[in-house]
Amino acid sequence: MKFFVDTADVDAIRELNELGMADGVTTNPSLIMKSGRDIREVTKEICDIVDGPVSAETVATDADGMVAEGRELATIADNIAIKVPLTWAGLKACRTLAGEGRMVNVTLCFSANQAILAAKAGAAFISPFIGRLDDINLDGMQLIADIRTIYDNFNFKTNILAASIRSANHMSEAALIGADVATAPPDVIKKMASHPLTDKGLDAFLADWEKTGQKIV
């Protein structure tokens, strides 16, 4: 499973990329706002850091507006994936942009029916939102499983990009189900390395080593 980093924090992206933990990046208007930077400037810097897809989101609500914005965003770098919402207008924009050979990430997916439509429209990525479904007492992971089954049944090429990830457990569950990609904030990816038994074991090893009075260097 590929890791995309869900942030516009270039320092965090750079750190994860150097560790091989950033196969791509996803941004959205909220993350751009949090960065406090110009969308073109920060998106270009991110695209220069990572080799994989960098999702940049349109903000128009009509298809023609999304297409125009998508074409403009695509001029920032060759690895831009244009992000459009899963609305009827978004599907129209996806079809047009994908037909021009551009990567399109269809976002805000909350049902298997929506995911089928995105695949038919030529989306490179479909972004089902796990955490937001969990927030309303629906099973976000079940949606990932349903989309995986449907896409496999009909050999759809659209990548399942598990989004709205809130925990390290979400990452492993998405991998077990077979999501192609998971996008998560930097702190969630880092938390995947944490385990209380690892900490306990390390403390014991260090305590025993100190008793030896030895040094390695």
34 is catalytic: no
Catalytic residue among 83, 92, 120, 211: 83
DSSP string across the chain: -EEEEE---HHHHHHHHHTT--SEEE--HHHHHHHTS-HHHHHHHHHHH-SS-EEEE---SSHHHHHHHHHHHHTS-TTEEEEEESSHHHHHHHHHHHHTT-EEEEEEE-SHHHHHHHHHTT-SEEEEBHHHHHHTT--HHHHHHHHHHHHHHHT--PEEEEBS--SHHHHHHHHHHT-SEEEE-HHHHHHTT--HHHHHHHHHHHHHHHHHT----
| Residues catalogued as catalytic | 83
